[in-house]
Amino acid sequence: MEPVTDLTQYGDALHRDPHPVYARLREQGPVHRVRLATPGGPWETWLVVGYGEARAALADPRLAKDTARIGEVPLDEQLIGKYLLTADPPQHTRLRGLVARAFTMRRVEQLRPRIQQITDELLDDMLPRGRADLIGSLAYPLPVTVICELLGVPQVDRAEFRKMSAEVVAPTGEDSERAATVRFAEYLTELIEDKRRAGPTDDLLSDLIRTTAEDGDRLSPQELRGLAYLLLIAGHETTVNLIGNAVLALLAHPAQLAALRADTTLLGAAVEETLRWDGPAHNATYRYAAEPLEIAGTRIAQNEGVLVGLTAAHRDPARYAEPDRFDIRRDTGGHLAFGHGIHYCLGAPLARLEGRIAIGTLLERAPGLALDGEPGEWLPGLLMRGVRSLPVRW
């Protein structure tokens, strides 16, 4: 029996700085049996920490996502419904095809002027103060405003949406996660029904309600709720942390910040290096072995769970030279921050666009930007990676 590495012993240190822990694991091998802390108590699973193995695992059809097949339906799916990250082909293929019809690259590019406008308005409010929490003042309100406008969430509902979303992605307790998910399910049901009654509008959720494939296939009410849930949460939580982690990394590396200020064409590369060096997703979402398999010689029994470690894989020296060095001129090709394979993130172009606009505009308008104390605590859990607050001054 494979020995179990107890990661609960590291406590909050695993959130603050997981890289030394993963480096020690990688030295021993690319796949480990680990014990993790969760709101429901300790949990054992397989963790993939090597880059090559992680990339292969993300695209391996034997690592399934639909846990209903093993009788373990996750809380959000029980309460809200099936969505892309809990589906396998052919169901996943069908759902993604219907969403892709409405959520196109053209639609994302059309958002550019509005994203710039929202960024400018947030900075107009923030900059006269001389100091602020960057997460609360820019990194959070920008993507949440964009995704809520894109999906047609009324302005009056957005404060409550923030509370529900934060509790779902970084739960402070098992009961609080359930309560937030129940509220989310009820809210989305009402929102979809309101849009059905109101008739066609130009938001994405209304388009999804009307979207029909060539064969007449349409999304069911439950599928609409699941997709709205995924788009709302995934559509902003990762971007909040992308912006926060990028600014934190640049301020902690003055030479890299100076290089970017001297050559703003490096902005896209700085975003990609952030995605590699300290990306917003700590691990990929849960998978399980639909059949017995081996990963790098480690036998995974049927129905056993597997976590693909994105943060761990991105610091693998077998893939990236000097992986602990933050270098905006690095070739980051092949990073896994948005996944790989059929579950590659649909919202990657939107996240990249928001990140470039937010970071570029901030640096242009706040030339004296600097840290104004220690960042807040790192998010709990092992899904998202980011800080709750980032005090800055200029």
Spans of all domains in the chain: 4-393
What is the predicted pLDDT for the residue at 214? 62
Cα 40 from Cα 173, distance rounded (Å): 8
CB–CB of 308/58 below 8 Å?
yes
> What pLDDT was estimated at residue 302?
94
From CA 212, how far away is CA 210, in angstroms rounded? Answer: 6
Q: What are phi and psi of 384, to 5 degrees?
A: -105, 150
From the number of C-beta atoms within 10 Å of its C-beta (0-12, 13-18, 19+), residue 246 rates as buried
Helices marked H in 91-236 — which ranges? 91-102, 105-110, 112-126, 134, 141-151, 158-169, 174-198, 204-210, 221-234
SS3 268: helix
Query: Residue-wise pLDDT tens for the chain (394 aa)?
Result: 678 999 999 988 999 999 999 999 999 999 999 999 877 778 899 999 999 999 999 999 999 999 887 777 777 888 888 889 889 999 999 999 888 888 888 999 999 999 999 999 999 999 999 999 999 999 999 999 999 999 888 888 888 877 787 777 777 766 777 888 888 889 889 999 888 888 778 888 888 888 765 677 788 888 888 988 888 888 788 999 999 999 999 999 999 999 999 999 999 999 999 999 999 999 999 999 999 999 999 999 999 999 999 999 999 999 999 999 999 999 999 999 999 999 999 999 999 999 999 999 999 999 999 999 999 999 988 889 999 999 999 9
Tokens 């409405």 — which residue?
102
User: CA–CA separation, 250 vs 261, rounded Å?
Assistant: 11
pLDDT for the residue numbered 110: 93
Query: What is the reported pLDDT for 159?
Result: 80
Question: What are the tokens at 44?
Answer: 């054992």
Token pair in block for residue 380: 């709990």
The structure tokens listed for 258 are 């100076």
Q: Residues near 158 by Cβ (< 8 Å), separated by ≥ 6? A: 144, 145, 148
Neighbour-count burial of 23, counting CB atoms closer than 10 A to its CB (0-12 exposed, 13-18 middle, 19+ buried): middle
Residues pairing with 293 in the sheet = 300
Q: Which residues of 93-107 are buried (b: 16+ CB within 10 A; e: fewer)?
A: eebbebbeebbeeee
- Under a CB-based contact definition with an 8 Å cutoff, are residues 139 and 379 in contact? no
Residues 6+ apart with CB under 8 A from 24: none
Q: φ and ψ at 37, to 5 degrees?
A: -90, 130
The whole-number pLDDT of residue 213 equals 59
Nearest to 183 by CA among 158, 205, 165, 209: 165
Cα of 280 vs its chain's centroid, Å: 6
Residue 387 contacts residue 378 (beta carbons within 8 Å): yes
What kind of architecture, by CATH, is found in domain 4-393? Answer: Orthogonal Bundle (1.10)
pLDDT confidence of residue 100: 85
Grouping H, G, I as helix, E, B as strand and the rest as coil, residue 63 is strand
Structure tokens at 139: 């990194």
pLDDT at 245: 98
Report how far residue 239's alpha carbon sits from residue 43's, in angstroms, rounded to the nearest whole number: 28
What is the pTM for the complete model shown? 0.93
The single-letter DSSP state of residue 367 is T
For residue 69, count other CB atoms closer than 10 A to its CB: 13
Q: Could you tell me which residues come within 8 angstroms of residue 342 by beta carbon, excluding any fewer than 6 positions away? A: 59, 89, 92, 93, 96
How many other C-beta atoms lie within 10 A of the C-beta of residue 35? 15
